[in-house]
Amino acid sequence: MLVIVAPGQGAQTPGFLTPWLEDPVFESRLNWLSTVAGLDLAHYGTAADADTIRDTKIAQPLLVASGLVSSLSLYPHPADAFSRLGAVTGHSVGEITAAVGARVITAEQAMVLVRERGQAMADAAAVTATGMTAILGGDRDEVLAALTQCGLTAANDNGPGQIVAAGTLEQLEELAAHAPKGARLRPLPVAGAFHSEHMAPAVNHVTELARSVSVHDPRTRFISNSDGTVIHDGREVLSRIVGQIARPVRWDLCLESMVDIGITGFLEMPPAGTLTGIAKRYFRDRGLTVETFSLNGPEQLDDARAFCMKHGEASAIDASPTWRMVVSPAKGIFHRAEGTDEADLLTAGVRIGDVASLRDRIAVTAAHGGLIVEWLVEDGDPVAPGQPLLRLHPEAVPA
């Protein structure tokens, strides 16, 4: 089972695109996305210094564009990916890259969204002096208690031994003065308290823009940062990406969902390394054998393609345009809703059942409605994240 992930802000380093731009096809594609974003991304990816590319309104478009163009080098014919791709996800802004990979939005839509996201987050960060600090090690409960005491937000929960705090500089200084026992604190090179209440103004701006974005349902599992669930409604994918600007990233739950779907191969798109390091520790601590691959340069492409062939299997939820899938959001036991046994036609948004997981009970709805073609599970069956539950024919829904 192959999962491809896209990194978030902070992964960028000066000159990381230099080897990629030796390819004229890569260069022309990056120039097109630069035109859409209104930024000279080739310059920022090759010649700009660390302080320049730390700027939120530059870093975010640069990261998304690099992921999108390098993915075309990995899969020159994008549709071929769905015969090999088990799931996609991204960390923070990397979710926008992943949404394009799942065919929820286009590359051009992604660049407009990330341009506006980066600018809006930079504007929000300028209101108050804020930042983020990684907390490495320490007892989890003690770390979270210390954050609460200092008025900080656990903005990124990246798995055992790594939580990122977000808040004002004064709050972060207080945390540094009273560091949890056994924990190391490392200030991050970001320009604001991302994924916290300080970003609320940015959510409002991007929400308004997102209302005009047309979407499609994912053609492979899309694992959401919000809670690690698999989302298969395109509009909800976009809504979560926008709302999460001011909500914590639960990367630990994304990793948990990867395990639930049976991951064997973890490939990180460039600039890679950060998420791969977290994943290695996570899988090792659980005694799991999962191969990882950090794609950072074009010289690795042949090996990356071989890695994808080795671990890939066809998407479980790829669908033709004439019917839609309703899929499980999480691992658990599926319970059908009362009355669905006799139903032939479902209205849009109707609840078809629940998945009872170890954490909670998650309602499952038929977002688009339609004529029931086939139930793919029975009441009481165990299900995995993204497993198809029901096939619908959307054309049967009355206008």
Please identify every residue annotated as catalytic. 92, 195
Cβ partners under 8 Å of residue 187, min gap 6: 131, 132, 133, 134, 172
Q: How many CB atoms lie within 10 A of CB 186?
A: 11
Q: Determine the Cα angle at 65 with ends 278 and 264, to 5°.
A: 35
Report residue 40 as tokens: 């000279």
- Backbone φ, ψ for residue 362 (5° rounding): -110, 125
DSSP class per residue in 109-146? HHHHHHHHHHHHHHHHHHHS-EEEEEEEES-HHHHHHH
Report residue 203 as tokens: 């959510």
Tell me if residue 191 falls in helix, strand or coil.
coil
Q: Is 333 exposed, middle or buried (0-12, 13-18, 19+ CB in 10 A)?
A: middle
The β-bridge partners of 325 are 391
Please state whether 132 falls in left (phi above 0), alpha (psi between -120 and 50) or beta.
beta
